[in-house]
Structure 1
Amino acid sequence: MLKKLDEYLKDTFLLLAVATVMDPRCKMKYIEFSSKKYEGGAGNSQATSVMEAVQSLFADYASRNLKENDSCDIPSSDSSDSDSEDEE
Structure 2
Amino acid sequence: MTRFIWDKFSKDFLETLLSPYGTVVVSKEVTSEIKEIDVYFSPNISEIPSQLGLLGRLCQNPCLLEPYRNPITLDSLNDCLSKRFAIREIFQREAK
Could you state the TM-score of these two structures normalised by the residue count of structure 1? 0.38
Structure with the higher helix share, 1 or 2: 1
Structure with the higher strand share, 1 or 2: 2
Could you state the TM-score of these two structures normalised by the residue count of structure 2? 0.36
